[in-house]
Each structure stands twice: as C-alpha cells, then as structure tokens.
Structure 1
C-alpha cells in the first residue's frame, strides 16, 4: 500500500459516516476534527520572541533623549554616539539572521528559539549595569543579534506548526507582537527611566525561555530527522486527540520524498528552489524601499507642527495605529488572502508617499531653500500652517497601509514559500536582505534628501510602492488555504499532495 492509499484509508476510517457521499475532501475531513487550543498556546509562547524584538526596536526612542542629558559623563551620549546606539541593532540583527539559518537546521526550531532568549536577557543586563558607552553598544549588539535570530525562527516555527486554515492569522501575529512591543516600550518610557525600562524589556525574553520549555518542536523538523513517532505525538498535541494525525504525517513525508532530503548549492539552479528564494528576497527588499524609515524619521517633526509638543506621546499614537491595523490584517488574512492585502497596502502607501512629496514641495515654496534641513525650518512657517493636515493624513494612511500588508505579509510569505529542505539557508538569505536593506536605506536617506530634495525622495518611494503593486500582481502566488506541501508543489510544477 503506498502513501496515498494509506492517507485515504486513514481519512475514511476516521470520518466514518460523516462523509458518506464524499463531498468533503481529505483535507476538509481532516481539518473538521482539528482542535486549535494548544496550537494557539504554542503560538503565544513563540511570539514572545517578536515582542522582545519590538522592545529592542522601541527602546532607543525613549532612552536616547534621556541618555543625551544624563549627568554621568561616562554614560552621556553625543549625536554620533546616539546614532550608533540606535543603528548598531541592525548590524547585530544581520549577523543574527545568518546565525539563525544555521541554528534551525542544526538544533531545530524550538531550541533555537529558546537559545535566542539568552542574548536578549544578557544584552539588557549589560545595559542595566552599564558603566560606559561601550557597554551600551555591546548590550545593543547582543539584543540585535537575538532579534535577527528571532525574526527568522518564529515565522518558521509558526508556519510549520499551524495548519492552513489559521496559518495566515497566526503568522501575522509575528508583526503584531513586534508593534505591540514597540508600543509597550513607548508607553513604559513615559513613566520609567532608561535603566528601569531596560529591566522591563528583559521580562518578555525571560517568559519566552520559560514557556518554550513546555512547547513542542515542529512536526516537519522531526520528520526531516526521521522521527515519525515524535512527530505524531507533537501533532496530537497541536491538533487535538480526535484528528487522524497519521494522515498529516504521511502527507508531509510524501512531500519530503518528492523534493529530496539534502540541499547543495547546485540545487539553486532548480526553479522550485530559486523562485521562492527570489520571491522572499524581493519581498524584503521592497518592504524596506517603501519608505517606512523615512516616514518614521519625519513623524516627530510632523506632530510638532500639529502642536503635539509631547513627542513621546506622539510616538505612542503612531505605534497604536500600527497595532490596530496589524491586528485587522491578522483577523482578515485567511479570508481576504495575501495578494489582495499586499495590493491594497501598496496602493495606500503609493498615494500617501506621493502626497507627502506634494506636501514637502509646497513647504519649500516660498521661501526657497538650499538644503533639506531648511525644509524643516520652512515647514514651521505660518504661511504653510494650514497644510499640516495633509502631512498628518498622509502619515496616518501610510502607517495604516504598511501595517495591513507590507508590514506582516513578507514575513508570512517567506515562511510559507521556502521549501523545507532549504529553509535554513534561504531564510537566512531573506532575513539578511531585510536587515541589509534597512541599513542601506537608513544610511543613504540623508544623501537622497540632499540630491533629490525631500519631495523628490518621497516621490521616489512612491515609485517603489508602484513597483511593489506590479510585483505583487505578477509574481507572488496566493498561498491562502494551501498547505506548505501544496505551495511547494506549485513551484515544482506538480499538483499538491
């Protein structure tokens, strides 16, 4: 009896009289018996990693202003040191992405996730105990390293434990927890100094380490290591006692047999490998080229023009918008689909960045300005005060659009389309692209402002958003409702199992 016959027999045995006419497919019959409670628990434990990641990203915003005014000269930051305090995280995260790709293949998804909690905690502990600025740098580098590992491992863990009916919603929780972490540290920063804030930031990774002790390894990783009995036990934990998990095991094993078990660099010539890899890489590149960092760069100045004198409170408002729309994306992801949300997101960002360019163009005339720094001075001039609503509306639309599509979905699709046997290598390449592009865009932003003016820079971002839309429509496959094995079969040019 081959695997296909075994799967049908298992489904018939389990379904009994519930499907006498064969109206339900094998997949639907299986999913009708699945219970999600423990799957949600496993996801909740794993997304403490992205929450820790969000705390790292958000920590610099409330901490830097205080550290630039602190009385202790050994800890006081100047402008250059503050810049490194904020940006060195991206360097650590890029290294963490490479390290995470090696870890997930060698020691598994669960243990990788548990171990990445340690540099989070150690990094914040060094910041708490800092006696000089170099201790700040080391602490931020360690927390960045942990963030890079987390950004790779958690999407893989969720995609390999979740089933197709809820994978989109649960996968979107990665970005949701990141923005929740950012908002949480912004809120805490209103009431805590930098040292107590670092103590607060060390709590989520501590909870991550403890809670993951009680969660399972992913069934696909176990099956890739020929541990079928352990994989079935994990699936019973994740799917509930009534689901015929032997059927799902057989389905995954069949996919492994079709694609082979080992990966070599020569395999990159295979369209089933390089096509999903290029989709993941391009998604991350386009995500950073939308201009999200530029919008955040101008956020504080725009809020000041609108008489929001408390910039810390303004940051909380921005983070709240991100949380609300990322939550909306998570709720509708498995109904609307990935492509439609990416398209809507791209259109919203294209319109808002185009409008931002118009805003800065109008702000620069009159008076005539000779440098981008003068634009910010001109932006506060009385003749243009009535244009503040345009900037605020553009920023709100952009952040909402990013949060509903191009924020969470690239990470979700990365975890869905990359084949099992190349997940470590390909995911590392995709995460490295994300952090590398974030570093490049951030470092060249002022050069673009100098060469293209503020208006020209935002119009360039608008063109990038237009390319995002074309790329989404033409290249990206819809993965809604498909198993990971069916998605792999699309790139192999075969029918799904």
Structure 2
C-alpha cells in the first residue's frame, strides 16, 4: 500500500456498527445534484421538437436550413466534450458542489441566448453553451452522488443520473407538443435555476473536504447527509494530497480503472444506440403510425421505465450482471433490426443515403407492415436493453472506480471520450450506411455488443456493496 493510499484510507470516516437507520438528507442532496443531468437531458431532447419549429419560423425569427439544422443538433456534443475537460479541471480545484453550481450558468445563459436569438449563429452559440454545461454536469453529478452515498444505495442513487437524463429528454418531447422553440428554451432555464437554489443548501462531499484538510466541515457534512447518530471517527490529519502524476499510470490502481472507464464509454457509443434513435421515427411511420412525434414520446417512455427499473435493482443484481444482460439483449435486437433492413432493402449498394431512410420492399403490403412491426419490436427491445445496463452503468462505474486524487483527470478523460465518440458516430453514421448498407451497419453494432459482453465478463469488477476505498484496494491487489 502506497503512502497516498494509506492517507486516503485514513482520511475517510467509518460508520459505527449496528443497524442504525441512515440519514435521509443524502437523497435530497442526490436529487439536487441530479437536476444537472435533468437539465442535460432537456438540452439533448430540445433539438428534436425545436428543429421542425425553427424550419417553419417566419422572419424576423431565424430559420434553419438542412445544414444549419444538422449543426444545431450536433454542436451540443462538441460543447459537451469541452465541458468534460473543463469539468475534470473544476471538480478537483473548485470542488464538487461549486462545479455543479457553476454549470448552471452556461445552462441558463445558453437557453437565454436561444430565446433571444435573431440569427442562426445565436442559436448555434446557445446550443454550444448548453453543450458545455452538459459536459460539466455529466461528469460532476455522478462524482458528487457517489461520494455522498453509502454503499447500500450508491447504485440506486448513481443510476438516477441516467434516469434524470432520460426524464429530461422526455420532458422536452412532451413540452415540444405545446410550446414553440422560444418558449421551450424558456422552460429549459427552469431545471438549472432550481438546481442552483437547492445546491446552495447542500454540503460539499466529505471526501473532497478531507482532501482539503477541512475535517470539521467534513464531519458536519457527513452528519448532515447520513445523520448525527452514526458515530463517525475523527480522521487524523494527513500530508497534503497530491494530484495526478503521469508516472502513476504504472500503478495497477490507476491504469486498470482508467482502461475500464474509457472502454465502457467507447462501447456505450459503439452499441448502436444513436443509430437506433436515428431510425425511430422512420420505423414507426413504416408501422403506420400517423403521428411521428408520438414515436419520440413512446421511445422516451420506454427509456424512463427501464432506466427506473435498473435503478431499483442495481444494488441487488449488481453492475456486471446488468451490463452482461443488457449487452445480450442488444445483440439479439440489433441483429433482428439488421435482418429487417436486409429483408426490405435488398437492392444494390450504390443507393443514396436518402434512399436508405425509406425501406423499399418487394413484399406485399401486409407482409411489409408485419416486417415493420418486427422492426418496432426490435427497436423497443434494444432501447429497453440499453436503458437497463449500458445506459446508466458506465456513468455509475466511472464515478466509483477511480481513486480520489485522480478522479478529476480520469473522469474528465472518460467524459471527453464519450462525447467525442458520440459526435463521430452521429456524423459518420450516414457514410457507414452507404458503405455497409443499413443491415451491415446494425450487424456491426451487434458485433460490438458481443465484444462489450465479453469485456464485461472478463474485465469489469463487481462494485455493489463495496465502499469506494474497497474498490480502489481491489485494483491495487490488496
């Protein structure tokens, strides 16, 4: 055990024995932090109803053409990638609480700029700012929640990060039915504003306070969160906590969780979730759904229900089991999805991408409708499978597996990887389908899902019921 590990272990409070009921304020603090991911989800979902509204906008309001609409949807991922880097720097220097408070500023400012937009560049600038806030929130909220939660509920509370994201997306879809783009942007200012008010009343995480040698504040924060009856030991004062050094990458306690965290983010984006979401409205239209926006709401409801189910069983079933089960479900459904396109698009490989969006079937109408319902079933199964495991768990594990003194840098790189992969997959998906055809693209996603299952079984440790210090000790081999 290195001196840094000894210090980190000594600095952390230990619960007294006995079955004393835990404090409930930890749930309020987790909810306050999770309003950041709710805002993040609303920002992601905003483009879906806003783009059709902006296409119909009459002067002097800005109006989006095809190229501008593409950037309006995609530029959020670039802002979020930058936000991941900034969040990794902030979380270690300003702390977890102040970082969450800081991310409310670009959220509110970005939506305010969109609300006041008179030109397309103002719309894109506002989206870039909200993307920056998304990157910070997607990094800091899981870290804050994992550090305030006790092991028995860390999976439940950590999974609520992804749950709040999909609830935010669903809220944007539902509000988009009744609000045009300006008022929808005004509504986007509400969750981050509410988060700012609540977070002002919440404490910093005890672990971060201890690294700053603020033992009295850490004890007060722990009693606020977990209750005064827990009987926390007064931790000894240790040497100043060192930041991340490149030489530490030789340590298994650093490079093992780092490799796992980055790989989880890569596999999450290569699973094909963006491709499935890209086709959602087209598939529902093939199944004779009259209102294509209803398709978005149905997809959102499925995500919310199954992410909530994952949160409820996370601390019982464990992370590895749910990841493996999720991967197997996605393998089956992505393969079936590819088979649907193979049966309905058996033409030559030089068709344009526009042609690929509308399956051309030589089957009779009834058979074609039946195949479309097969696609709807496969798509819903895929989304449900993703929501149970590969949606929430990579974010949860990212917040659990890194030692305290490298958490900012390591989680920043993981978030940067996730958002850059999301941008690349979204932008290059059209080209991939032209080369491989849609069925080839989905079968490739199925192959990545198979690799992700093998990776889970052989490389990902189980973290349920363990303290963050026990997880670090596992990677160190002690």
* TM-score between the two structures when normalised by the length of structure 1: 0.90
Match of 1:22 in 2: none
User: Is 1:96 paired with 2:83?
Assistant: yes
2 CA distance for matches of 1:374 and 1:157? 46
Task: Summarize the alignment of residues 140-155 of structure 1 with structure 2, pairs less than 5 Å apart.
Answer: 140-155=127-142
Matched, 1:450 2:450: no
Return the alpha-carbon distance in structure 1 between the equivalents of residues 23 and 464 of structure 2.
18
Asked if 1:298 is matched to 2:279, the reply is yes
Q: In structure 1, what is the Cα distance between the partners aligned to 2:420 and 2:115?
A: 28
1:124 matches 2:111: yes
- Residues of 2 paired with 1:392 and 1:270: CA distance? 47
Q: Of 17, 22, 25, which aligns to 1:29?
A: 17
Query: What's 1:416 paired with?
Result: 400
Match of 1:328 in 2: 309
- Which residue of 1 is the match for residue 355 of structure 2? 374
Deviations 1:317-346 (A, max 9, x none): 100000000000000000000000000000
User: Partner of 2:182 in structure 1?
Assistant: 195
Aligned to 2:266, which of 277, 281, 285? 285
Q: Deviations over 1:58-110 (max 9, x none)?
A: 00000001101111265010000000111110010000000001101111000
- 2:343 equivalent to 1:359: no
- The question of 1:172 aligning with 2:165 is answered no
2:53 maps to which of 63, 66, 82? 66
Q: Distance in 2 between matches of 1:96 and 1:480?
A: 29
2:378 — aligned with what? 394
Contact (CA 8 Å) 2:100, 2:141: kept in 1 or not?
Answer: yes
Q: Does the Cα contact within 8 Å between 2:341 and 2:359 map onto a contact in 1? A: no
Residue 284 (structure 1) shift: 0.2
What SS class does the counterpart of residue 17 from structure 2 fall into?
Answer: helix
Q: Are the counterparts in 2 of residues 276 and 491 from structure 1 also a CA contact under 8 Å?
A: yes
* 8 Å CA contact retained: 1:179, 1:322: yes
Give the alignment partner of residue 50 of structure 1, picking from 37, 43, 49: 37
Match for 1:310 among 270, 277, 291? 291
2:3 is matched with: none
Q: 3-state SS of the aligned residue for 1:242?
A: helix
Counterparts of 1:332 and 1:146, CA distance in 2? 30
Cα contact 2:302–2:384 (8 A) shared by 1: yes
Q: Within 1, Cα distance between the matches of 2:431 and 2:146?
A: 39
The DSSP-based 3-state class of the residue aligned with 2:230 is coil
Helix, strand or coil at the partner of 1:166: helix
Aligned-partner Cα distance in 1 for 2:299–2:342: 24
One of 3, 6, 28 as aligned partner of 1:41: 28
Give 1:250-289 correspondences, 5 Å limit. Answer: 250=235, 261-289=242-270
- Residue 308 of structure 1: how far off its partner (Å): 1.4
C-alpha contact 2:344 2:360 (8 A) present in aligned 1? yes
One of 462, 466, 471 as aligned partner of 2:446: 462
Compute the displacement of 1:244 (Å).
1.2
- Cα distance in 2 for partners of 1:449, 1:215 equals 48
* CA distance in 2 between partners of 1:321 and 1:339 (Å): 22
Cα distance between partner residues in 1 of 2:205 and 2:230:
17
Q: Distance in 2 between matches of 1:106 and 1:389?
A: 52
Q: Which sections of structure 2, spanning at least 5 residues, go unmatched? A: 1-5
> Residue 290 of structure 2: SS of its match in structure 1?
coil
Q: CA RMSD in A?
A: 2.0
Q: Which residue of 2 aligns with 1:434?
A: 418
Q: Which whole-Å deviations, capped at 9, do the CAs of 1:377-401 have from their partners, x for residues lacking one? A: 3347663222112101100110000
Preserved contact between residue 95 and residue 145 of structure 1 (Cα < 8 Å): yes
Report how far residue 373 of structure 1 moved. 3.2
8 Å CA contact 2:349, 2:435 repeated in 1:
no
Q: Deviations over 1:340-361 (max 9, x none)?
A: 0000000000001001110000
Query: CA 1:207–1:381 in 2, change beyond 3 Å: closer, same or farther?
Result: farther
CA positional deviation for 1:50: 0.3
Question: Given that residues 349 and 437 in structure 2 are in contact (C-alpha distance below 8 angstroms), is that contact kept between their aligned partners in structure 1?
Answer: no
Q: Which segments of 5 or more consecutive residues in structure 1 lack a partner in the other structure?
A: 12-25
- Structure 1 residue 376: deviation in Å? 3.4
Return the alpha-carbon distance in structure 2 between the equivalents of residues 262 and 200 of structure 1: 40
Change (3 A) 1:27 1:242: closer
The one-character-per-residue Cα deviations of 1:131-169 (angstroms, maximum 9, x if unpaired) are: 111110110010000000000000000000001000000
**In structure 2, C-alpha distance between the alignment counterparts of 1:476 and 1:290, rounded to whole Å:** 17
